[in-house]
Homo-oligomer: A and B are copies of this chain.
Amino acid sequence: MRTLNHPTKEDISLSAVLYALSDNYRLEIVRRLAEQGELTCSGLALPAAKSTLSHHFKVLREAGLIYSRTEGRECYNSLRQQDLQERFPGLLAAVLESAEPL
């Protein structure tokens, strides 16, 4: 099992979160995770090359928006909703409220 780095809750920065959300593709990933809970990379069924998806997941993970873990050949992703709510109250909810499906 590969270990992935995630920032601690305290280290999540507002600018990194806003930047990560400023891409329609990443916003769609966040929207689906908010709706459906933990999803595998393939379960997200997004029409993009694996390397493109990996890049987006990395940006989201390093910004502190998602928690990723790998198990065998599959990766699992979930939204760090509670950490984000504690760090930036109301922010993710407001973004998701305005986000339209891709």
Residues of A within 8 A of B (CB): 14-16, 18-19, 21-24, 27, 87-91, 93-95, 97-100
Beyond A14-B99, A90-B97, 16 extra complex contacts between A and B, CB < 8 Å: A14-B95, A15-B22, A15-B23, A18-B18, A18-B19, A18-B21, A18-B22, A19-B19, A22-B22, A87-B98, A88-B94, A88-B95, A88-B97, A88-B98, A89-B98, A91-B98
Give the contacting residue for A22; candidates B19, B27, B87; CB below 8 A: B19
- Known A22-B18, A27-B15: A95·B99 in contact at CB below 8 Å: no
Number of copies: 2
Q: What's the minimum C-beta distance from A34 to chain B, rounded to whole angstroms?
A: 15
Q: Which chain B residue shows the least CB distance to A95?
A: B91
* Chain B residues within an 8 Å CB radius of A89: 94, 97-98
| Cross-chain pairs A/B with CB under 8 angstroms, 25 sampled | A14-B95, A14-B100, A15-B21, A15-B22, A15-B23, A15-B24, A15-B27, A16-B22, A18-B21, A18-B22, A18-B95, A19-B19, A19-B22, A22-B22, A88-B94, A88-B98, A89-B94, A89-B97, A90-B93, A90-B94, A91-B91, A91-B94, A91-B95, A91-B98, A94-B94
